[in-house]
Amino acid sequence: MRMTILQENKQDCKLEIIEGTGEVLEDLSGTGRKRPWSERKKESMELLDLFRTAKRIDDGVISQTRLQALHDCASWLYYAQQENGEKRLAKANFCRLRLCPMCGWRRSLKLFAQVSKITDAILAEKKARFIFVTLTVENVKGKDLRDIIKQMNEGFKALVQDSKHYLVSAKLRENLLGYMKAVEVTYNAKRNDFHPHIHCIFEVRPSYFNKHSGGGYITHAGWREMWQSVMKLNYVPQVNVKAIQNTTAKAVAEVAKYPVKVDGLLKIKNKEQAALALIQLKHGIHNCRFITFGGDFREYKRRLALDDVETGDLVHVETDKQELNAVAMILFKYRADVGAYIC
């Protein structure tokens, strides 16, 4: 079947839409890896079923409109075909639901691309080093999830903001140039509780790694004590600190990932338990911001005119949005009966 569509560029030319050929979508990344469209769509459909179960328990967990949007998410994909046969995603229908595996995957690609661009820009203008830090607390029950996430966000502010009230983190702030912070929540099915934690990339002055007296280096024990202090915990929490040795944009971006995942819930055999956990997770993260940029990361993101990872464009996530120099549009639709995208 052949149709026409207006190409979204200055020429405003009409492009032919190609569909019904039976071609199976094969979308390769720049490194030659097959992009997991079908796998993510299958997971989204599994989440849809789990939400339907959860809605019977708690009708307010998701609206019927959002449930339909999840059902329709990435059900069709338009690819712009270039003269040389290369295809590039041009348009798709994403639901943008926070927990959607499909949208979460697209945000992960977007976050990687943005951190890479930001780091490239930083390293082109200044000397800097980067460390990857994971800040944790003890697992909590679902009813306490929202409160502990709020407490962790406040604790993180105490680490990075310039205030005389937070002398415990003064050494870090003296060497801190910027950061990318991501809140992650995982579910422990055996214990029926949640593990919220913060992954962050800290951009620091090279002097941070001076371990001599008066230098900026913070020991592992020092990080744990500092996090315990700003969180006001009655126990010493676990903190993982790792220097990113290869100071390149790719090395830094490799540790960046979009944090909200539900794959653990989808693997639980007891669907009622999984549904109850989903309800708790959904309410626990409602209106919470999961990705934050600060210092140089925020400034260079502004200079590069990058949109918001959580609410921005999910089509052009690995490349900049450019004019389409295409000869045709190919329409792929998801076929649940074969588990693939077919033209």
Q: What pLDDT is attached to residue 335?
A: 96
Instruction: Give all strands (DSSP E) within 189-243, no chain letters.
Output: 193-204, 239-243
Q: Is 201 exposed, middle or buried (0-12, 13-18, 19+ CB in 10 A)?
A: buried
The three state secondary structure string of 44-85 is HHHHHHHHHHHHHHCHHHCCHHHHHHHHHCCCEEEEEECCCC
Contacts of 7 (CB under 8 A, 6+ apart): 13, 14, 15, 80, 324, 326, 329
Question: What's phi and psi for 59, nearest 5 deg?
Answer: -60, -25
Whether residue 167 lies inside any domain: the answer is yes
Distance CA(150)–CA(116), nearest Å, equals 28
Number of separate domains in the chain = 1
* Residue 180 contacts residue 256 (beta carbons within 8 Å): yes
Whether residue 17 lies inside any domain: the answer is no
Q: What pLDDT is attached to residue 249?
A: 73
Q: How many CB atoms lie within 10 A of CB 138?
A: 12
- Integer distance in angstroms from the first to the last C-alpha of the chain? 10
Provide the residue range defining the domain that includes 293. Answer: 103-266+288-312
Q: Which helix (H) or strand (E) holds 271?
A: helix 271-284
Q: pLDDT tens per residue, the chain (343 residues)?
A: 444 333 444 333 477 899 999 999 999 887 788 999 999 999 999 999 999 999 999 999 999 999 999 999 999 999 998 888 788 999 999 999 999 999 999 999 999 999 999 999 999 999 999 999 999 999 999 999 999 999 999 999 999 987 666 777 888 999 999 999 999 999 999 999 999 999 999 999 998 998 776 678 999 999 999 999 999 999 999 999 999 887 777 778 777 776 777 878 999 999 999 999 999 999 999 988 899 999 999 999 999 999 999 999 999 998 666 656 788 999 999 999 999 999 9
Whether residue 199 lies inside any domain: the answer is yes
Whether residue 144 lies inside any domain: the answer is yes
Q: CA separation (Å) from 243 to 208, 255, 324?
A: 11, 11, 41
pTM score, two decimals?
0.90
Whether residue 258 lies inside any domain: the answer is yes
Q: What pLDDT is attached to residue 6?
A: 39
Whether residue 72 lies inside any domain: the answer is no
Q: Is 271 exposed, middle or buried (0-12, 13-18, 19+ CB in 10 A)?
A: middle
Whether residue 254 lies inside any domain: the answer is yes
Whether residue 276 lies inside any domain: the answer is no
User: DSSP for 287-340?
Assistant: T---EEEEEHHHHHHHHTT---TTTS-SSSSSS-------SEEEEEEEETTTTE
Best CA proximity match to 342, nearest among 25, 71, 1: 25
Distance CA(278)–CA(266), nearest Å, equals 10
Local structure of 3: helix, strand or coil: strand
- Residues β-bridged to residue 80: 88, 329
Half-sphere exposure of residue 278: CA atoms within 13 angstroms, side-chain side: 33
Distance CA(204)–CA(299), nearest Å, equals 15
Range list of H helices, 199-270: 220-231, 249-253, 263-266
Q: Is 165 exposed, middle or buried (0-12, 13-18, 19+ CB in 10 A)?
A: exposed
Provide the 8-state DSSP code for 247: -
The amino acid at 175: N
Q: CA separation (Å) from 64 to 60, 70, 148, 155, 266?
A: 10, 10, 29, 36, 21
Q: What pLDDT is attached to residue 107?
A: 93
